[in-house]
Structure 1
């Protein structure tokens, strides 16, 4: 059986231990973000921006980089991973207060200062990590040397509807209805698990229906268990669709309760607010912030890797971004379409990203 996820033999660089790590206080009301630094402390600085939102970082992100060349900084965004407080706590509200895209951008500024980055840095991010990297570059182009992005996610309503809404509204009566396109068409068994958590009469807006579950205090123990099951269904839907071919005999860590609670709650918190891109509230779900601000990215070289068979962040988002960049006169865009799915751990995505990073011109070459 073909499995699309990388094996130990597929990596070019070995896993290394961090040369430094810790927690950084980023807000007076209690948020502390976890960070770790790998590679060469005097190397080219690069900040890795994880997905989700709520996915947390992982040590393997440093394996894309030549350890003698790069100073690699990874961090857990607010509310997830090893950051504190955690949205996996029974009471997730403290982790979601002061947790917006603007807050995360400011955290990135505080972290770069904390780790002594005074000039430009590369940003490396995929999925939501591409969204946040682009939003950061729009806000602070003066801090960004290059963007190395995978699985472009613009976080607009149509992008979310393709993945989270699909045929849910009519699923009870016609689960095979394909009049509206969506990721459900390729993963029907995973879709069934995701949809059936929500009562049929509430499926016309799945993001809102899940928000209703996650945002309320549980009424009793049974309701608490229902909330956990909903979080596992939400997170499991993404975990089971991120690869072309995954070993189904192994546990899906997306469905582990602690991870799922933080991941699902934070994602839904962002998505019901249009990712806090240019606004807040449900009316902001119609935002098109990144494409409307493409002009701000014009001076930053951008490298994009996108799987042709990505069903979490379908490739039309990358196509639209590249078109918008070219429309504003951006001439330094490297766009690579791979025969892969969504995850950065898909073999072809991993190899393409490593190749890009190995062949970036050095600062000396571009000075």
Structure 2
């Protein structure tokens, strides 16, 4: 039998409109003391262009140069930066430990960091704010609190972060997995990725699987003193990271988890996410959907993959409903034939088209 014509990936290939550019400049910005949090940032495109603040996912996902390719370099001035605790920002969870990197690391802190970066880079007027997944959460919170600074919101893979959203991704059928591993006892992303789910669940002993996020966080919160303990913590971080990285793609590259399988990335990514999730993203219940009335003068553009298993499409539906209830429906709402990742071909096409079509500031 010949299966050679089957698609092996849904990731972006030749869908990019703009080439990969070099940063105009880069640097670190100190935004806090004790610990001395310093944000790493890069600027792409046109120095006098319309500013775009790019907010990466996770929390803890960090930026990469390829993220600048959604934007016309002759029009936009694109700011990429790594949020606290991850990427090239300092300190990081992987290099310096969670006691430093997770101190003063809340949603309020990240919103303040955006304003500090704006000021340091001389952005005085309105800017476009572009965010996906957790970046969409942070973008919404920022815009609700600072609508006068936002020309437009461009959001991908909406993440509202409610308890049910997190249970869908991390809990699923884990409590009954030992007795019925393929039983559809609860909703969850595991339904589409049973083998990958098995690897995620089996890190945790069966008696602790009633609370998968809590069990993982207990491992992350421990302070390893022996090599087996360090390996246990790394194993958990990699399992957490690879699970999310794999299910982010509608057609995952099973043999190549990419950065999600790298120890340094995984240690920061998993522990920052667990930290934020344990604190309900440091947001009040309903803070986003109840607060979107503040966006009446901010056009909101939404792109969401129909087959997204990290942030199911219902999260976009809830946001759209909240916007419509205020009398300001989204300026754009595109549902792509894609999963969660920003790096899937159909999503790249949609996001680039939105950026190309925005009214100029």
| TM-score in same-fold range (> 0.5) | yes
- Please give the TM-score of this superposition, normalised by the length of structure 2: 0.96
1:27-71 Cα deviation digits (max 9, x unpaired): 022100000000011111110000000000111111000001001
Select the residue among 286, 289, 292 that pairs with 2:290.
Answer: 292
Alpha-carbon shift at residue 89 of structure 1 (Å) = 2.2
Bigger mean CA deviation after superposition, 50-59 or 85-94: 85-94
- Please give the TM-score of this superposition, normalised by the length of structure 1: 0.95
Change (3 A) 1:251 1:128: closer
Select the residue among 11, 18, 26 that pairs with 2:31.
Answer: 26
Alpha-carbon shift at residue 219 of structure 1 (Å) = 4.0
Query: What RMSD over aligned residues (CA atoms) do the two structures have, in Å?
Result: 1.1
In structure 2, C-alpha distance between the alignment counterparts of 1:344 and 1:219, rounded to whole Å: 38
SS state of the match for residue 71, structure 1?
Answer: strand
The residue number in structure 2 matching 1:189 is 195
Matched pairs, number: 354
- Is residue 2:129 matched to residue 1:131? no
Select the residue among 323, 328, 336 that pairs with 1:330.
Answer: 328
1:142-181 Cα deviation digits (max 9, x unpaired): 1111000000000110100000110111111111221311
In structure 2, C-alpha distance between the alignment counterparts of 1:115 and 1:209, rounded to whole Å: 41
Q: Which runs of 5+ in 1 are unaligned?
A: 279-286
1:201-249 Cα deviation digits (max 9, x unpaired): 1111111111111012114221111000000000000011011113333
In structure 2, C-alpha distance between the alignment counterparts of 1:266 and 1:339, rounded to whole Å: 30
Alpha-carbon shift at residue 12 of structure 1 (Å) = 0.6
Alpha-carbon shift at residue 292 of structure 1 (Å) = 1.7
The residue number in structure 2 matching 1:179 is 185
Select the residue among 73, 81, 85 that pairs with 1:75.
Answer: 81
The residue number in structure 2 matching 1:112 is 118
Select the residue among 125, 128, 132 that pairs with 1:122.
Answer: 128
1:52-104 Cα deviation digits (max 9, x unpaired): 00000111111000001001001000000000000112622100000000000
In structure 2, C-alpha distance between the alignment counterparts of 1:312 and 1:335, rounded to whole Å: 19
The residue number in structure 1 matching 2:241 is 235
| Structure 1 stretches of at least 4 aligned residues deviating more than 6 Å after TM superposition | none
Q: Which runs of 5+ in 2 are unaligned?
A: 1-5
Alpha-carbon shift at residue 251 of structure 1 (Å) = 4.6
